[in-house]
Amino acid sequence: MRALKLGVVLMSVAMGASAAEITVSAAASLTNAFKEIGAAYEKEHAGDKVLFNFAASDPLVQQIAKGAPVDVFASADQDAMDKADTLKLLAPASRRNFASNSLVLITPMAATLAIKGIADLQQAGVARVTMGNPASVPVGRYTKHALEQAKLWAAVEPKAIYGASVRQSLDYVARGEVDAGFVYATDAAVMKDKVKVVATVPTETPVSYPIAVIAAGPQAAAGRKFADYVLSSSGQAILAKYGFGRP
Amino acid sequence: MINSFLAEPAWIALRLSLKVACWATLLDLLFGVALGYLLARKRFPGRELLDALLTLPMVMPPTVLGYYLLVVIGRHGVIGAWLQRTFGINLIFTWQAAVIAAAVVAFPLVLKGARAAFETVDTQLEQAARVLGISPFGVFLRVTLPLAWRGVLGGALLAFARSMGEFGATLMVAGSIPGKTQTLSIAVYEAVQAGQDDSANLLVIITSVVCIAVLIAANKLTPNRNPQA
């Protein structure tokens, strides 16, 4: 009992000493996995606190470019990270790939239409297909490129309902407001009881996630520790648990 | 030249916003005038409670309204499922859903304006008209409404401006489909998200100009400032 009390006192002293609040802007598809990684990191680094800001990757870049106090940025595609790089937001040599994913076509669990693959989206009965907005959401870009490659973009584009992030698209399908949608395999797994994965969609470029430290971040040093943790075996184990592949 | 100008995404969004705001204001006028008159003239139990309930959309977060609407008019919602079964109508992700969202959010502005305007109309004038043999509905159309129209119209213009600016609830029920449901305010959001500051600039200038024009018109119509004018 006394030891426990001593531990609490020591911990609060430690917190006062080096309390770093690390702000992490991360792609929406990382929501569940990163929350767990954050909690695990906080346990191992007493005193540090990890704050998350989840959204589509491009708006996150825009926020950082406009001066948002962010220490770490994790994006769902290389495009968004390239934009951050072009804007000179990244700490030198801090960019690394840390996970991979795959693009899947999903339908509501109670769907009545027979959708077995992306070619079926041409059917007249399919009225609405949700995907991320290609202008600002990586999953939308992967989807658009995949459909263009399959020569289906012209047929599917008029049916497109753009989501502001992959999780909005997932929600539209789960609620049955659309006939089908494109999300990552890891997102579909979050709502296993409401959506059905009907096909894995081959992408032109592999779905890979880069992470980097933001040069102007107020806690950039602690941010570097967090990025290292994501790439460590503990971080990778949590990502694998949520279905992410090796980088 | 003019044609390519009119095909600009910004003008398509503006036209859609105007269309949505017009329909929403019309709906609000219809219900707002009827209910405003009821609240101003009839005494019945729960009158103030009804007023409070109808004013709720003005103070509730648009996201809460959007969620309510999604639950009610969504494909599995109470009304949405019925519409789907009976008429095969699906409201979500249509411009009509944007009209409903805007109409609900802006409704209190018409209601409050109409109620206040009807309360200031001298009931003796209405009674005189009744004595002269005009039907109750005739009195409403020929005496009450003409005397209250400034307040009603002022409220309607505010509702129009509010409808133009509706964002949260609209995004939730109508989505953001370019050319179909992407209104000005949603187009601004999308442009900023994608880092397209050029189109964002153009869009916010258009929005600001339209809203200022509507507010000036609403101010000119504010009752009692210069009743003889």
Return d(Cα A74, Cα A211) in angstroms, integer.
4
**Does any domain span residue A88?**
yes
Per-residue pLDDT tens digits of chain B, which is 229 residues long: 455 555 678 889 999 999 999 999 999 999 999 999 999 999 999 999 999 999 999 899 999 999 999 889 988 888 999 998 898 888 988 999 999 999 999 999 999 999 999 999 999 999 999 999 999 999 999 999 999 998 999 999 999 999 998 999 998 899 888 888 999 999 998 888 888 888 889 999 998 998 899 889 888 876 555 444 4
pLDDT at B175: 85
Substitution target in A113, A131, A136, A141 with the highest count of B β-carbons within 10 Å is: A136
| CB atoms near residue A7 (< 10 Å) | 11
For residue B220, what pLDDT is reported? Answer: 83
Contact A56, A28 (CB under 8 A): yes
Select from A208, A196, A127, A133 the least CA-distant residue to A168. A133
Instruction: List CB contacts of A205: < 8 A, sequence separation 6 or more.
Output: A77, A78, A142, A145
Place of tokens 């005739």: B138
Q: Which residues of A touch B (CB under 8 A)?
A: 56, 58-59, 61-62, 65, 83, 127-128, 133, 135-136, 160-162, 164, 175-178
Kindly report the CATH number assigned to the domain that includes residue B13. Answer: 1.10.3720.10
pTM metric for this prediction? 0.80
Does any domain span residue B128?
no
Residue A3: pLDDT above 80? no
- Residue B185 located in a structural domain: yes
Chain A: residue whose CA lies nearest to B173:
A177
User: Is A10 a residue whose pLDDT tops 60?
Assistant: no
Q: What is the mean pLDDT of chain A?
A: 91
Residues A19 and A43 in one domain: yes
Residue at A247 is within a domain = no
**Does one domain contain both A52 and A66?**
yes
- Give how far the C-alpha of residue A154 lies from the chain's centroid of Cα atoms, to the nearest Å: 27
- A73 is written with which tokens? 């940025």
Give the total number of structural domains in chain B: 1
Question: Does residue A22 sit in the same domain as residue A52?
Answer: yes
Question: Is pLDDT above 80 for A26?
Answer: yes
User: Band of the pLDDT at A21, cuts 50, 70, 90?
Assistant: very high
Over the stretch A78-118, which tens digit does the pLDDT of each residue have? 999 999 999 999 999 999 999 999 999 999 998 888 899 99
Structural domain boundaries enclosing B95: 2-120+149-220
The pLDDT value given to residue B221: 75
Select from A59, A83, A176 the Cβ nearest to the Cβ of B193: A59
Provide the pLDDT for residue B167: 92
The answer as to whether A174 is a domain residue is yes
Quote the pLDDT of residue B229: 41
Q: For residue B77, is it within any domain?
A: yes
Q: What gap in Å lies between CA B214 and CA B161, rounded to an integer?
A: 6
A147 domain-assigned: yes
Which chain B residue has its CA at the smallest distance from A80's CA?
Answer: B194
Q: What is the mean pLDDT of residues A217-223?
A: 94
- Would you call A31 helix, strand, or coil by DSSP? helix
CB A150 within 8 A of CB A119: yes
Query: Do residues A172 and A107 make contact, with C-beta atoms less than 8 angstroms apart?
Result: no
Confidence band for A13, pLDDT divided at 50, 70 and 90:
very low
| pLDDT score at A15 | 46
What is the pLDDT, as a whole number, of residue B217?
A: 86
Cβ atoms of residues B185 and B98 within 8 Å = no
pLDDT band at A6 (very low <50, low <70, confident <90, very high): low
Residues A28 and A110 in one domain: no
- A196 burial (CB, 10 Å; 0-12 / 13-18 / 19+) is middle
What pLDDT does residue A2 have? 60
Rounded CA gap, A211 and A72, in Å? 7
> How close are the terminal C-alpha atoms of chain B, in Å?
43
In this complex, do B193 and A136 lie within 8 Å of one another by their Cβ atoms? yes
Long-range contacts of A36-43 (CB under 8 A, 24+ apart): A36/A238, A36/A241, A36/A242, A37/A229, A37/A230, A37/A235, A37/A238, A37/A239, A40/A229, A40/A234, A40/A235, A40/A238, A41/A226, A41/A229, A41/A235
Whole-angstrom Cα distance, residue B60 to residue B52?
12
**B198 part of a folded domain:** yes
User: Among B173, B175, B184, B174, which residue's Cα sits nearest to residue B209?
Assistant: B184
Task: List the beta bridge partners of residue A200.
Answer: A104
User: How far is the alpha carbon of A166 from chain B, nearest alpha carbon, in Å?
Assistant: 14
- Provide the shortest C-alpha distance from residue A161 to chain B (in Å): 6
Is residue B227 assigned to a domain?
no
Query: Does the residue B140 lie in any domain?
Result: no
Contact between B163 and B26 (Cβ < 8 Å): no
Final residue before a domain boundary, out of A170, A185, A201:
A201
Quickly state the pLDDT bin for A132 (edges 50, 70, 90).
very high
Q: Looking at CA atoms only, how far is residue A62 from chain B in angstroms?
A: 6
- pLDDT attached to residue B222: 67
A contact test, residue of B193, B196, B197, B199 with most A CBs within 10 A: B193
**B16 is a domain residue:** yes
- Within a domain: residue A69? yes
Identify whether A246 is part of a domain: no
Q: What is the structure's pLDDT at A8?
A: 53
Q: What whole-number distance in Å separates Cα of residue A163 and Cα of residue B57?
A: 25
| C-alpha span between B114 and A102 (Å, rounded) | 56
Number of domains in chain A: 2
Residue A154: give the domain boundaries.
103-201
Say whether both A93 and A112 belong to one domain: no
Same domain flag for A58 and A146: no
Note whether A91 and A152 are same-domain residues.
no
Q: Do the Cβ atoms of B195 and A56 come within 8 Å?
A: no
Is A136 close to B92, i.e. CB distance below 8 A? no
Rounded Cα distance between A209 and A117, Å, is 25
